[in-house]
A and B are shown apart, each in its own frame.
Chain A
Amino acid sequence: MGLTLVVKEECATCQWLLPLFEKLQAEHNVSIYSQDNPDFPQGLDVLDDRELAYSWRMNIEIVPTLIATHDGADERRAVGWVRSEWEAVIGASLDFDGPDFRPGCGSLTQDPGMPEKLAARYDADKLKSRKLSLGNEEDEIEACFERGWSDGLPLVPPTEQRVLQMLTGIKRSPDEVIGMVPPDLAECNIEKAAINAVMAGCKPEYMPVLVTAIEAALQDEFCMHGLLATTYFSGPMILVNGPISRAIGMNARGNVLGQGNRANATIGRALQLVIRNVGGGKPGGVDRSVFGNPGKYTFCFAEDETNSCWESLAVEKGFPKDASTVTLFAADGMQGIVDQRSRSPESLSKTYAAALRVVGHPKMAMAADAFLIISPEHERVFKLAGWSKQQVKTHILELLTIKGESLITGAGGIAEGIPEVFADSDIPKFRDGGFNIVRAGGSAGMFSAVIAGWGASGQMGSVPVTRQIPAETILG
């Protein structure tokens, strides 16, 4: 068994224990590491740990820390001064006058900003990505633009220190593979996700959400390749449900689809950067969208579950209420619905149906999916009438069952339309499972919003994908 003691001169408890340190080194051959002064404790054999390599490797949080090691492995430790613990580590009673307890001081490894610096100094070999040296006169942010990594906005330069810090946000190994990212079908591991998360401006605690969003986007049924390549407007939208959305401070209320919330803004952006940088998917390259939409910079928000009388989308999809989930949807931009007069569920449903009818084209059916985002003031209309979310959904879908004769090509003097053989059929606007309702938004305003989906929704293109964020990957 070997005994090691970590101290610093600046610590009053270490100063007070000096007579004991002398005895321990003389009688038990204790190795002493000093964090701040190799001449402290004076007159003893001291190992210089001013670079904090040993303290970092041994994960020292408090000084003094006394460690018993066996074959190099940590066997037992005493932190601060607790007489009984020290005696247990030494395996003998200690002849030392004074109280049995005195707290220690913080290890220098825990100073503000120090863990990040030490991680970059001692853990950088965990990172396997290609390291690029920037010129001394090169601006770091301009360098990221010039290398083609940007979505058009400035990126946070992905230094080793920042990437290591990002990796502390998820309990997964940097080399774990998340999936193959289109269009290049290049492997994306946790480290590449973290690099792009740094560039997007994420906090480490967003990593479990981002990684699950990437996993969901790479499911075959989501059809990320086709979604990227299409001439249509769509891009990936991320909806977050469950406790993690509140834990990381996502916005589900006022301006929910707008700017200003870091988690909403950067998680959506990071997914797009992964597609761009890892997958190689860029506008003008494989991305052939005619218009795109502003959500292709970032499109990520949370459902307001704590303030709603309805079950959340995740619960509708069969996940437990306390599960955290991510839903990916191939989405266009947002179309607002104003209805400030409806006070009955029937009237408001008709408003919704009229607005949803135009998704893609008023004569298009069974093609594009849609999400309807209902605000609190609109939800109240249904709540007062006792309508569940399922009732609202069913009623709207009934209203959106349309006579084929009005949808066929040529009907209404419009060439666009479905084939004439459907003239005598009743046609649902949305395919089965293609219409979803989410409750979010600010508390004042009788508005709701339609988020239309890709014209190639469903099995022939993209299906919304919901994945649970594994609890074991979340910190805390």
Chain B
Amino acid sequence: MTIILDPTSESAPEFRAPLPRPASLDDMTVGLLDISKPRGDVFIDRLEDLLGQRGVATKRYKKPTFARVAPIELKQQIVTECDLVIESLAD
């Protein structure tokens, strides 16, 4: 029997289940995060309209640059002000 050593971080199970989807958006605040990619604001604008028509409260955020992870302060601000966040990832 061959023994080999695990080359991974050994920190995660093989499959990680995503968080459950919310049953409704009632009384929730949805964060809209623009990652600073060109035309990301177009997508976020439309989402803001659609959510507003449904009476859902929204707040907007923007990363300083798409190339780097969001600053801790921004992440903490979103966590404290919102229940959910939608991030526009693509150009």
Residue numbers of A with Cβ under 8 A of B are 127, 129-136, 138, 140, 143-144, 149, 157-160, 163, 181, 184, 186-188, 191-192, 195-196, 199, 223, 225-226, 230-231, 273, 277-280, 456, 460-462
Q: Does B11 contact A (CB under 8 A)?
A: yes
Given pairs A184-B12, A460-B67, 12 additional interface contacts (CB within 8 A): A129-B6, A131-B6, A133-B2, A144-B4, A159-B4, A159-B5, A191-B5, A195-B6, A223-B67, A231-B91, A280-B8, A461-B67
In the bound complex, residues from chain B placing their C-beta under 8 Å from that of A223 are: 67-68
- Which of chain A's residues has its CB closest to B14's CB? A148
CB-contact partner of A225 in B8, B12, B68, under 8 A: B68
A143 to B2, CA, bound (A): 11
A131 contacts B67, C-beta separation under 8 Å: no
In the bound complex, residues from chain A placing their C-beta under 8 Å from that of B3 are: 131-134, 159-160
A169 to B65, CA, bound (A): 40
Residue numbers of B with Cβ under 8 A of A are 1-12, 65-69, 91
CB-contact partner of B68 in A131, A199, A226, under 8 A: A226
Contact flag A157-B4 (CB < 8 Å), given A186-B9, A279-B9, A280-B12: yes
A136 contacts B1, C-beta separation under 8 Å: yes
In the bound complex, residues from chain A placing their C-beta under 8 Å from that of B65 are: 456, 460-461
Q: How distant is A9 from chain B, measured CB to nearest CB, in Å?
A: 34
Q: How distant is B87 from chain A, measured CB to nearest CB, in Å?
A: 12
In the bound complex, residues from chain B placing their C-beta under 8 Å from that of A163 are: 5
Q: How distant is A404 from chain B, measured CB to nearest CB, in Å?
A: 19
Task: Name 14 interchain pairs, CB-CB below 8 A, sorted by A.
Answer: A127-B5, A129-B6, A129-B7, A129-B10, A130-B5, A132-B6, A134-B1, A134-B3, A134-B4, A186-B9, A188-B9, A226-B68, A460-B68, A462-B67
- Which of chain A's residues has its CB closest to B2's CB? A134
B68 contacts A132, C-beta separation under 8 Å: no
B67 contacts A277, C-beta separation under 8 Å: no
The 7 lowest CB-CB distance pairs between A and B, nearest first, are: A186-B9, A461-B67, A456-B67, A130-B6, A226-B67, A129-B5, A277-B7
CB-contact partner of B4 in A136, A158, A230, under 8 A: A158
A133 contacts B1, C-beta separation under 8 Å: yes
Contact flag A278-B67 (CB < 8 Å), given A132-B3, A133-B3, A158-B4: no
Q: How distant is B35 from chain A, measured CB to nearest CB, in Å?
A: 11
A199 to B4, CA, bound (A): 11
A184 contacts B5, C-beta separation under 8 Å: no
B69 contacts A196, C-beta separation under 8 Å: no
Q: How distant is B69 from chain A, measured CB to nearest CB, in Å?
A: 6
A149 contacts B7, C-beta separation under 8 Å: yes
A132 contacts B5, C-beta separation under 8 Å: yes
B2 contacts A157, C-beta separation under 8 Å: yes
A129 to B8, CA, bound (A): 9
A82 to B32, CA, bound (A): 82
In the bound complex, residues from chain B placing their C-beta under 8 Å from that of A134 are: 1-4
Q: How distant is A364 from chain B, measured CB to nearest CB, in Å?
A: 13
Q: How distant is A196 from chain B, measured CB to nearest CB, in Å?
A: 5
B2 contacts A158, C-beta separation under 8 Å: no
- Which of chain B's residues has its CB closest to A199's CB? B7
A149 contacts B8, C-beta separation under 8 Å: yes
A54 to B70, CA, bound (A): 56
B5 contacts A131, C-beta separation under 8 Å: yes
